[in-house]
Amino acid sequence: MTDLLPSLSAVSQIIVVILAFSVLIFVHELGHYLAARITGVRVERFFVGFDIFGLALKKEYKGTVYGIGILPLGGYCALAGQNDDPRKQRQTNAAEELQNKPLWACGLMFGGGVIMNFIFGFLVLIAAYMYGIPFIPAVLGFLDPNGPAAVHGFRTGDRILRVDGREVASFEEAAEAIALAGAGGEMDVDVERRDAAGIAENLTIHVKGRGSNMRGNLNTIGADPERSRIVGGVVDDPVFADMLAGRLGVGDEIVRVDGVDIPPNRGERIQSMLANRPGEAVRLGVRYPDGSEREVVVPLETYGDWDMGLRIAVAIGTVTPGGPADQAGLRSGDLIVAYQLPGQSEPGRFANTKQFVDMVAEAAMKPVHIDINRGGDLLTVKAQPALQAANGDYDPEADTLLGVLGSMEGDNGFLVEQVLAGSPLAGLAQPGDYLAGLNGKPLPKGKSLREAVEEAASDSVRLFVARGGPQEGEDAVMPPRRDVPEANLSLRLAPRINPDYRRPMIGVDLLPGPIVAVESGSFADAQLGGIRRLAGSRLALWQYSPDLSTTTLRFVFPDNSPYGGGLKSFVVETPAEIRENPVAAGLMSRLPVVLKTAEEVHPMPFFPAVAAAGKKWVDLSLMVYRVLHKLVVRTLPLDAVGGPVQLFRIIKIADDRGFAYFLYIVALISVNLGVCNLLPFPVLDGGHLVFLLIEWAMRRPPPPVVRETAQWIGLVCLLALMLTVTGYDLLHLVKGTG
């Protein structure tokens, strides 16, 4: 809560989390209390927090003991005649006891907490909208060049309007709707695009997402929101921190780069302008929080790597079920140490995971022999790469793998309408030709040319081309043309894979593994001790000095290494050829700061705030059930759900984004608490309501043993779920994956 509690410390954040949670529990229990007063049920104890060791502050008033427990993460409202153990339920005729009330009164009692959570959440939402919730516009900023958004034709500046027909008002809502499609899920995204003159055009783009490497492997399209010009953080490097001190820091606004004005909410342009200047410094126009402006010169951070002679094993993360890697027997955790393509005399090794991807692409449809290390055992497997759609905007049937466009014409074969540039048939086939045979057989009926070529090909195919078409009066089936010179061609050629349509893949996610070889005479061999000292280590950090004079390399060594186990850093002189032409070596640069996302704040008058709060309240209520549905059908994994640790992180976000956003988070949690309490777990309010419905339908309560068994099962399931979610929270905290 930047404006009320500037930069909360960790202890302060814990206190705020406890207070916020205690307020929500108090609101819930207050709902039960008020329902008891309305229905005439006597309240025996009303506590916020748990009374342990008898240390609670308590006072009796008109037959009710009120108290505040020393453990603030809970609370309870004990009613006369109520007992969680059905066999110990008191059976008296006292009118003030719960079991003697009509079913509607019991239903109001058990639903009172949920109703109060809903009312409280709605009122807090109204206050948040009146105050002005900061939200991130659903406008795309940086696009991953290889991500789904860029591949499917999205552009920086596009504003997302709807995802699969659901309207979105912020980037968070858009990301949420995309995530619910499940990793790799497909969706229609409506966007508004403006040209240079500001004229808007609405487009619908069908996009297939991909799993992220963050919490829950949630679906993403590889797009970030717009960035503001305001610095939100500085790179965690003492060298840069010292050089930026007094020039550029958190809260400062970058308005110019080398004299070029940066429009508001176009901060992503700054990094794109500076990407190809490694080892340089940049002149910035900076506006400080006090309103003053001045020009400063700051260094750029260089990133990227170059081939120093290291050869690593590629570690397999996840394996796509049913994919080529799965069929070949590869498993998660395998280390790929070498590969060999057909025709290669020597195995190849990798310097990074990108080289493995490039190798698969080079293999095209040829099988690849892969040497793996599985728990110390060396194995060789053969994987056949499969072609995977690369762009959902293209019709996959249009990619024939031969670089031609056309259509299947029954028994005549494939009619060529256009020969594309780079086609293996360029200069051989021409429009009007028929591709009539494949590997000595007619093209199979009922299949596209792509399917026929993909099934028949490993390295090359033999193709029969007929020119001239059927003569008038002939049967439609194409006979050889003896009257037209060179009309019938028999060609052997390699299929052409158009990367715009599809790419060869084997279906694995990759992680960098340990070093297994060092090229003789290379930089790593001469400067870092070669394979004798580097074997089994992992390169954890690659960092350059601002002027590129030195490179810092940090390795994680195994216990049996000559360097000893653990982390060890090397500061080496950057080779002259890298310093002189860093861009050619593959290095890039960026400003050593993180820019805040662009935010908009629109405080609302009372009645518009009520309308907006009502709409958001409904959306938040339904979101819980949408997530539960996705969990049940396994579109979302269980580790996508957050628990207490995630709640702490949300409060930290509220700290960064202001008081109104904190109110929004409290409202969100209140509504979620109400919805979750309606779930039909026997130990929750929803479970009690289910028992009341059963009693109403059967005209008598369920037997005590049934209720007791159901409550124990519900309690065990709920505790298991809580422990699992908390475990995932801690795991993601350690891994840094959200």
Backbone angles phi, psi at 714, to 5 degrees: -60, -40
Q: What angle in degrees, to the nearest 10, is found between the helix axes of 644-657 and 704-735?
A: 50
Q: In whole angstroms, give the CA distance from residue 77 to residue 31.
A: 9
Which residue do the tokens 């207050």 mark? 30
Task: Identify the CA nearest to 124 among candidates 607, 613, 600, 675.
Answer: 613
Active-site residue flag, 29: yes
DSSP bridge pairs for 454:
none
CB 332 within 8 A of CB 569: no
CB 243 within 8 A of CB 235: no
Number of H helices, E strands in the chain: 17, 38
Q: Residue 242 is inside which H or E element, if any?
A: helix 238-244
Q: How many whole angstroms separate alpha carbon 596 and alpha carbon 254?
A: 11
Closest CA to 331 of 374, 376, 385, 377: 374
**Distance between CA atoms of 98 and 36, rounded to whole angstroms?**
9
N- to C-terminal Cα separation, the chain? 21
Rama region for 507: left / alpha / beta (φ>0; ψ in -120 to 50; rest): left
Q: What tokens were used for 513?
A: 């593994």
* Per-residue CA distances from 737 to 182, 542, 573 (Å): 17, 21, 33
| Residue 441 CB-density burial (10 A; 0-12 exposed, 13-18 middle, 19+ buried) | exposed
Under a CB-based contact definition with an 8 Å cutoff, are residues 121 and 671 in contact? yes
3-state secondary structure of 111: helix
How far lies 325's CA from each of 185, 334, 588, 606, in Å? 21, 11, 33, 58
Q: Which residues pair with 234 in a beta bridge?
A: 593
Annotated catalytic residue, options 29, 253, 454, 599: 29
Inter-residue contact 268 to 226 (CB < 8 Å) = yes
**What are the phi and psi torsion angles at 415 (to 5°)?**
-85, 120
Give percent helix, percent strand, percent coil of the chain, each to the nearest 5.
Answer: 35, 30, 40
Task: Name beta bridge partners: 193.
Answer: 201
Q: Which residues touch 547 (CB under 8 Å, ≥6 apart)?
A: 279, 299
Among 361, 362, 364, 336, CA closest to 350: 336
Q: Are 682 and 714 in contact (CB under 8 A)?
A: yes
Strands (E) across 485-592 are located at 488-493, 502-505, 508-518, 538-544, 550-557, 566-573, 588-590
The label of the residue with tokens 């801690």 reads 730
What are the E-state strand segments in 426-501?
Answer: 434-438, 441-442, 461-466, 488-493
Cα separation, 29 vs 109, whole angstroms: 10
Q: Which residue has the tokens 């410390």?
A: 9
Residue 240 structure tokens: 């840069």
What is the Cα–Cα distance from 269 to 260, expressed in whole angstroms?
11
Place of tokens 């995971």: 353
Written as one letter, the residue type at 415 is L
For 166-184, letters b (16+ CB in 10 Å) and e give eebbbbebbbbbbbbbbbe
Active site amino acids? 29
